[in-house]
Amino acid sequence: IVWIRLVIRPRAVGGVTLQAPPMALRQAFVRSSRCLHGFGGLPVAWKVPVSMPRRTFCAGGAPMDIRTPTLEEAKTMPAVVCSLSNESLYVLAEMGHHAACKERLVRNVMAVDDVDWPTASEKVKEIGKRDTELLWLMTMPFKVGIAGGLTAAVGSVPMVFHKATAEMVNANFVTSDVPEPKDLETCWEVGAWAWNWMEPPLGVAGFVILAMQLVRGQMQNMDFKPYTSWVKNYRARRLTALYPQYNEDMVLEFSLSGSMNGKR
């Protein structure tokens, strides 16, 4: 039982008049951080018991009034997606689960082509291959961004702190005055010198990335589709055009829930 201190005005509740506490006690409650305000804005000074039921789960010793699975139910539980009912499969597919979207499309192929499950599965594999045909080209900007980001992250360290690299960059791209050898004896001194020309590109690159992230966030707020969403939608629309005989929504969800790295 948890006790909550209340400070309320005199009021009749259930035929019984609740008397307010002395003014000094109420002022003490107001000054205390333990004073709670609520109940329609009435000030509070009564102890009200609130029952806190104990949470229990089946795995931790279930109470007698909670039904636990039987052995027969456990043995008949579906272990793979293809064993699910149509209703359960539809719910999972609408939640974006790719395996459920794939199995739902398999059953649609079975109904449209009047074939068995293994034959329909092979057909869906063929649909999946057609869905990833242009993925290598569509994901090229991502791959270029990954390669460029890794190159910049690794290369910026020696360009700032490594003396030979900094001198090479200065000789070929910057042509700045080289300090005295005594001023380039440590990596920190080299960094202080190289930072004169490394700070502008690194600062501008960081600001550009920040601005692009802001633009992306505002585009999503206005339901505009950034490049990733455009690629997914284009791929899905292309797949529905290639297989118009099957349910459009099922083919569409099968493509949209698929991975961008081509794995199915």
Each residue of 184-242: pLDDT tens digit? 989 999 999 999 999 999 999 999 999 999 998 998 899 888 888 889 999 999 999 99
CA distance 102 to 108: 10
Give the largest Cα separation in the chain, rounded.
Answer: 95
- Which residues are registered as beta bridge partners of 45? 7
Output the average pLDDT for the chain: 81
Asked whether the predicted pLDDT for residue 166 surpasses 60, the reply is yes
* Euclidean distance between CA atoms 245 and 197, whole angstroms: 61
In the three-class reduction of DSSP (H, G, I as helix; E, B as strand; rest coil), residue 36 is classed as coil
Give the angle subtended at the CA of 156 by the CAs of 151 and 159, to the nearest 5°. Answer: 125
Which band of pLDDT confidence, cut at 50, 70 and 90, is reported for residue 66?
A: confident
Which residue bears the tokens 């790295």? 261
Share of the chain above pLDDT 70, in %: 75
pLDDT tier for residue 245 given thresholds of 50, 70 and 90: very high
- At residue 45 the predicted structure's pLDDT band, cuts being 50, 70 and 90, is very low
Nearest one of 245, 244, 235, 249 to 128, comparing CA atoms: 235
| pLDDT greater than 90 at residue 164 | yes
